[in-house]
Amino acid sequence: MRFPAARRLTATLPAAALALSLLSGGVLGAGAASATPVPVVLTGVGEAQARKELRELEASFQGRIGAYALDTATGKAVTYRPGERFPLLSTHKAILGAAMLHKARTSEPGLMNKVLKWTAADLKPNSPTTEKHVADGLTVAQLCEATITLSDNTAANVLLKELGGPPALTRYFRTLKDPISRLDRWETELNNWTVKEKRDTSTPAAIGRDLRALTAGNALNAKDREQLNAWLIANKTGDERIRAGLPKGWTIGDKTGTNTEIGAGHDIAVIWPGRSAAPIIMVVFTNREVAAVDNKVIAQVATILARGLGRL
């Protein structure tokens, strides 16, 4: 490859206690639920310096970096290769969880408590939760939690089947006014990607706008938004990525994506600096010819983006 220069909250879910604590402190409260104006990209010294630093980091990384950061409190944004396609990888699982919450709310009451089952033949690599429940299955809510917090591949496929397959998730992207993002295949085939591949891809700007609509906007019912944010905050796969590049006191919910065979490492996040009710939305996509993911680069991008927004 050659790149150009430039929960419903219930006691059964571990994330619930954390989410309730945040709600009582106002982090996920009325400020997040209220409608906000369409953000205006403000270009200034901070963004110009951030883009310069990202170009330098990309050169040393010897690959490609895509980035999108929006401060929903100010409307300021910092972007880098915002319109270029990257493979979605497991970042699609955050949107899948949102789609299940939306379906339960709008067309299938009780869906989150429905028990779904699978067979041993359905198991995919990296399925730490579903491999233990072949005999008894799990509820849709439990599968969403496993999909988002542990990136369980079998759980994602079981949910995707219940939703209606990859085309159904693509249709859900379209309901978010996203004409770009698409899912075409199942785990783990969706990770097979080349530079010219459009299947199973998005752009930093497109997925960033989707994440904003779902975690800080009105694309989901308020309780469903709180549940999605709780799952993202409880994620266990992102400690060395965006979280590592930002202050420890910030509240961060994220979903990672990884394919070491194509040197692709991603992270998409909703971030509450301090106790601010207005979050930052951040997307970092990376890939390179060297089949190795560099978490430190992803963390560095997060730091640069936060500085560019004037938050550090």
Question: How big is the CA angle at 161 (ends 157 and 218), to the nearest 5 degrees?
Answer: 90
Determine the length of the chain: 312
Question: Listing from the earlier edge strand, what are the strands of the sheet with 264-272?
Answer: 77-80, 63-71, 280-288, 264-272, 251-259
Do residues 171 and 142 touch, judged by C-beta distance below 8 A? no
- CA–CA separation, 133 vs 275, rounded Å? 38
- Among this protein's residues, is 24 annotated catalytic? no
Rounded to 5°, the CA angle 299-195-58 comes to 30
**CA 275/CA 268 separation, integer angstroms:** 20
Of 187, 202, 226, 276, which one is the catalytic site residue? 187
**DSSP code of 190?**
G
- Active site includes 131? no
* Residue 188 preceded by cis peptide, ω within 30: yes
Q: Which of 90, 127, 202, 276 is catalytic?
A: 90
Measured distance CA(215)–CA(269) in Å, rounded? 10
Catalytic residues: 90, 187
